[in-house]
Amino acid sequence: MLLYKYIPLTWENDLTNTQKKLFKDRCDCISNNRFYFTKPEKLNDPYDCRPFFSVRKELKDIKAILENMEPEEVNWALKKFPSCNSREDIFNLIKKIDHHPKAAPSTKNFVMWSLQAMVSELVKAKIANVGVLSLTEDPINICMWAHYANNHQGVCLEIEIPQNTLSLDRVRYTRSLSDFPDIIY
């Protein structure tokens, strides 16, 4: 499968150290056929790799979150719930609070919000440990040339990617931004 990478190659004369490193990385991808994977916090779109979460209030959602956690994530979560020894213990504790007849709604909301904050922290930690290589299927997109090839002064590299490449995924755009999480005071 052929994909394309737009790269700016023209720069101002006085470059910062960060710009010099970026320029070196871009030249490296041409001369040594190696690519630089950008850390999510360095991406120019404030919404890239920054998911928003809504506080879940359904036990089935909490159960699904806990069931999908990797073992090391469960171990990390158990530190947040010192009276628990497993993901089932965490779920049963939350369920007990949720079903307790004397538990105030604010207590139930706080427990759900705390769990959601914990999941948000886990996702942020995972995202911090990945790199992003943005490629496109279109080598003649005028907007891509303008935004990513320094106003048409850069280059567009053609890259042959094997079909079975792991971690290759198409970006899914939405027409609207996600809602920000509910905030409970």
Judge if 122 and 141 occupy the same domain: no
Judge if 111 and 72 occupy the same domain: yes
Judge if 119 and 142 occupy the same domain: no
- Backbone CA torsion sign across 152, 154, 160, 163: negative
Residue 168 belongs to a domain: no
Residue 172 belongs to a domain: no
Distance CA 77, CA 68 (A): 13
Residue 184 belongs to a domain: no
Judge if 26 and 74 occupy the same domain: no
Residue 165 belongs to a domain: no
Residue 19 belongs to a domain: yes
Judge if 103 and 144 occupy the same domain: no
Q: Do 55 and 108 contact (CB within 8 A), yes or no?
A: no
Task: Copy the structure tokens of residue 84.
Answer: 């628990």
Average confidence (pLDDT) per 10 residues, the chain, 185 residues: 83 74 77 80 76 69 83 86 90 86 82 77 80 87 88 87 74 65 37
Q: Provide the pLDDT for residue 22.
A: 76
Q: Provide the pLDDT for residue 184.
A: 36
Q: Which of 113, 115, 130 is CA-nearest to residue 167? A: 130
Domain boundary among 84, 109, 128: 128
Judge if 64 and 44 occupy the same domain: no
Q: Provide the pLDDT for residue 85.
A: 93
Judge if 45 and 69 occupy the same domain: no
The helix (run of H) or strand (run of E) holding residue 7 is strand 2-7
Residue 171 belongs to a domain: no
Distance CA 145, CA 155 (A): 8
Residue 106 belongs to a domain: yes
Distance CA 178, CA 171 (A): 16
Residue 44 belongs to a domain: yes
The helix (run of H) or strand (run of E) holding residue 28 is helix 17-31
Q: Provide the pLDDT for residue 180.
A: 46
Query: What does each C-alpha distance from 70 to 26, 113, 118, 126 come to in angstroms?
Result: 35, 21, 14, 11
Range of the domain at 118: 59-128
> What is the tally of structural domains in the chain?
2
16 residue type, one letter: T
Judge if 117 and 80 occupy the same domain: yes
Query: What does each C-alpha distance from 170 to 80, 120, 132, 133 come to in angstroms?
Result: 35, 23, 12, 11
